[in-house]
Homo-oligomer: A and B are copies of this chain.
Amino acid sequence: MKTKTAYLSFNTNKKIEIIRITDQVSRVISDSGVKDGLVLVNPMHITAAVIVNDNESGLHDDYLKVLEKLVPYQSDYRHNDTGEDNAAAHIWRQLLGHQVVMPITNGKLDLGPWEQIFYFEFDGQRQKRVLVKVIGE
């Protein structure tokens, strides 16, 4: 059994930003030497999500518009009484599904035709990390 762990770093220009990270995850898999196994991609901060979906900017806008409609960023949240302004960011990341585990076959991400991995930052402009852990053989 082989494992490899890497930490991707992000410090986005905007508070809310969507970044495609498929290539960065693929590089960790190549470095691991794992031919068959799983890769966990998990944000280490709790106002961000890692999801798999389409690399289409219109759809990304749709996601944000839906989240804002369902759970407005500026609203009356008890969490924000602590001095934070990011309660909605915590909730958004849960609604989208906060992490992914993806398959590795023949040494590569085993993706469908449109599957791409994205980092969704909902409270950016500060240092954040995403853990990538490969396990397999």
Residues of A bordering B, CB below 8 Å: 1, 3, 5, 36-38, 40, 42-46, 51-54, 56, 58-59, 61-63, 66, 70-71, 77-82, 87, 90-91, 93-103, 105, 110-115, 129, 131, 133, 135-137
Partner of A98, one of B37, B52, B87, B135: B52
With A38-B135, A62-B90, A63-B91 given, name 18 new contacts (CB 8 A).
Answer: A3-B36, A3-B136, A36-B135, A37-B135, A45-B114, A46-B115, A52-B99, A54-B79, A58-B81, A59-B78, A61-B78, A62-B79, A62-B87, A62-B91, A66-B70, A70-B70, A103-B131, A112-B129
Q: Which 3 A-B pairs have the closest CB atoms?
A: A44-B112, A58-B78, A59-B79
Most B CB within 10 A of own CB, among A87, A112, A113, A115? A112
Copies of this protein in the assembly total 3
Report whether A40 and B103 are in contact in the complex, using a CB–CB cutoff of 8 Å.
yes
Instruction: Given A94-B96, A131-B110, check contact A3 B59 (CB 8 Å).
Output: no
Q: Which residues of B contact A36 (CB under 8 A)?
A: 3, 5, 135
Q: Which residues of B contact A112 (CB under 8 A)?
A: 43-46, 129, 131
